[in-house]
Amino acid sequence: MEATAQLVSNMPKRELRAVWLTTIKSLDWPDTKATSPHGIEKQKQELRNILDQLKAANFNAIVLQTRIRGTVIYPSKIEPMDACITGKFVAPIADSDKTTSDRYDPLAFAIEECHKRGLQLHAWLVAIPGNKTDQIKALGSHSLSHRVPHLILKTSDGNMLDPGIPETADYIASICEEITRNYDIDGINFDYIRYPEKEVRFSDAATYRKYADSGQSLADWRRSNTNRIVKTIHDRVKAIKPWIAISCSPVGKYADTRRYSAGGWNALNAVSQDAKLWLREGWMDILMPMMYFRGKNYYPFALDWQEDSYGRTIASGLGVYQIDRNQQNWPLSVMESEINYCRQHHLGGQVFFRSRFVTDNTKGVYNLLRNNLYSTPALPPALIEPNKEAPSAPTNGKIEETAEGITLSWVNDQSYYVLYRSETYPVDTQDPNNIYKVGLTDTHFTIPLPMSITWLPYYAVTAIDRYGHESKPLELNTPYVPRKFDSLVGKKK
């Protein structure tokens, strides 16, 4: 009991708690293909069940794979819909098509269901890899090789977008713009915004000769190419909706540290991914490094990311799949130790790969999170916006008795609200143990109270803007005003 109490007291008020929800080959979702009205509804219910389970464990964000490899999970005018949704690839919609509002849109549905539950949705886009060899044949004229042949490099496993061609940045940014304009997403997360690993063979020699500056090394040129892509995306997205959090999932080790070698596999040199520069320049709001390691391969490199975070959020990508008996069979204690290390060194949260290993309660990991490590809610980290003022606090707080219980209400026009509850007044809104509900979208909330309750706790509410900034609290009930519900709940002794 003492250890559990200490654990709860150490929980941060703000912490990104997310999963990567993988759609490629339906690894996490969907299990059912949307080939009929019944299939669509079953596919929807599968997602509702996943979200309900994650919400119950106090997760606050979903990173949903939205672009896979040159295919997407929504009706797009740019790229075809992936076969994971209906069992077959669906052509991009034509500009003249007026029926798009009648179509089932998995991304729109996922966003709606996430927001109902107070969960953020970050659209996860695989950036550089293109179609696999078998996909190219199945997609036919809708493959990247046919649609944008001037941007394509052949690889040993299919094709890829060529980062060295300047127009590649525009192409990827156009997909981001389409999603940003059409969907109420909270963030965009990039995977594989880098050059391929050694196992994937490709040649960009011709592009290098054409576009590299005189005397520019291949390594520096490649890094400048990924930098250009990241900056272009940042500028295009922020021009439309500046509150959208832009993130990426770099290789888990940035480079060698002073004491530990990355073993030759790192972001900076192996795959031309200078993610620390992206933080420094403000092109990335969040990094989710894929740290699917343990021991000395995890701890010093997690700290290395945090020490050069420039005040932005580092959410450690945890390889929860590694605890599976068919993977590395790690003990569950690895996950607990790595989360505690994140908190001890003030990293901004955790993202689990993949969601199914969490929701399947692999080795009891879901129970560990729900009952211990995530037993209290947390707010997602706010974006750094130095010139953005905090939102105005809610006003006109009321507490009314209704047939359903006690209804708390307030007046405000922000996007989200946080409700706090405490036995003492004033409510300490900096204490994470007082967080009662997060991500509320209505300006009222009803608490079903049992007739046996002997006193009414104190409640306070704050407003949250789209950047994640929090207002000052409005105390909804005070000890200076007689309780209106003494007949229902009695008086505090």
The CATH number of the domain holding residue 17 is: 3.20.20.80
In a shared domain, residues 264 and 304: yes
The pLDDT value given to residue 231: 99
Contact (CB, 8 A) for 199 and 179: no
Mean pLDDT is lowest, of 6-10, 110-114, 139-143, for 6-10
In a shared domain, residues 342 and 484: no
The pLDDT value given to residue 97: 65
For residue 213, tell me if it sits in a domain: yes
In a shared domain, residues 312 and 342: yes
For residue 74, tell me if it sits in a domain: yes
Contact (CB, 8 A) for 312 and 284: yes
Q: Is the dihedral of CA 364, 370, 374, 379 positive or negative?
A: positive
Cα 408 from Cα 400, distance rounded (Å): 7
- Contacts for 361 with CB less than 8 Å, ≥ 6 apart: 367
In a shared domain, residues 453 and 320: no
Average pLDDT value for residue range 63-77: 97
pLDDT band, residue 118 (cuts 50/70/90)? very high
The pLDDT value given to residue 491: 46
Contact (CB, 8 A) for 347 and 338: no
Average pLDDT value for residue range 133-139: 92
pLDDT in tens, 327-355: 999 999 999 999 999 999 999 999 999 99
Percent of the chain with pLDDT over 90: 84
In a shared domain, residues 353 and 460: no
pLDDT in tens, 238-275: 999 999 999 999 999 999 888 888 888 899 999 999 99
Domain hosting residue 203, numbered range: 2-373
Average pLDDT value for residue range 108-130: 98
Mean pLDDT computed over every residue of the chain: 92
In a shared domain, residues 338 and 401: no
pLDDT in tens, 359-390: 999 999 999 999 999 999 999 999 998 778 89
For residue 388, tell me if it sits in a domain: no
In a shared domain, residues 308 and 426: no
Q: Across the strands, what pairs with 126? A: 191
Q: Is the pTM of this model over 0.85?
A: yes
Q: Find how far residue 295's CA is from the centre of its chain.
A: 25
Q: How many CB atoms lie within 10 A of CB 215?
A: 6
Average pLDDT value for residue range 402-412: 90
The pLDDT value given to residue 484: 53
The pLDDT value given to residue 454: 64
Average pLDDT value for residue range 46-62: 99
The pLDDT value given to residue 96: 53
Residue type, 300: P
Which stretches of 375-473 are assigned E, i.e. beta strand? 395-401, 406-411, 416-422, 435-440, 444-447, 458-464
Query: Is residue 481 predicted with pLDDT exceeding 60?
Result: no
For residue 386, tell me if it sits in a domain: no
The CATH number of the domain holding residue 448 is: 2.60.40.10
Is 434 strand, coil or helix?
helix
For residue 324, tell me if it sits in a domain: yes
In a shared domain, residues 334 and 446: no
The pLDDT value given to residue 189: 99
The pLDDT value given to residue 101: 58
The tokens of 188 are what?
């965009």
pLDDT band, residue 492 (cuts 50/70/90)? very low
pLDDT band, residue 8 (cuts 50/70/90)? very low
For residue 378, tell me if it sits in a domain: no
Mean pLDDT is lowest, of 141-150, 217-226, 471-480, for 471-480
In a shared domain, residues 356 and 446: no
DSSP-derived secondary structure for 44-83: HHHHHHHHHHHHHTT--EEEEEEE-SS-BSS--SSSPBPH
pLDDT in tens, 205-234: 999 999 999 999 999 999 999 999 999 999
CA–CA distances in Å: residue 406 to residues 213, 306, 436 = 68, 43, 15
| CB-based contacts of 437-440 (< 8 A; 24+ apart in sequence) | 437/118, 437/377, 438/60, 438/118, 438/377, 438/378, 438/379, 439/60, 439/115, 439/117, 439/118, 439/119, 439/120, 440/118, 440/416
Please tell me the total count of domains within the chain. Answer: 2
Cα 79 from Cα 69, distance rounded (Å): 10
In a shared domain, residues 176 and 318: yes
For residue 139, tell me if it sits in a domain: yes
Average pLDDT value for residue range 480-487: 50
In a shared domain, residues 284 and 341: yes
Mean pLDDT is lowest, of 1-10, 68-77, 216-225, 257-266, for 1-10
Backbone phi, psi, residue 150, to 5°: -75, -10
The tokens of 456 are what?
């009414």
For residue 390, tell me if it sits in a domain: no
Is 398 strand, coil or helix?
strand
In a shared domain, residues 348 and 455: no
pLDDT band, residue 100 (cuts 50/70/90)? low
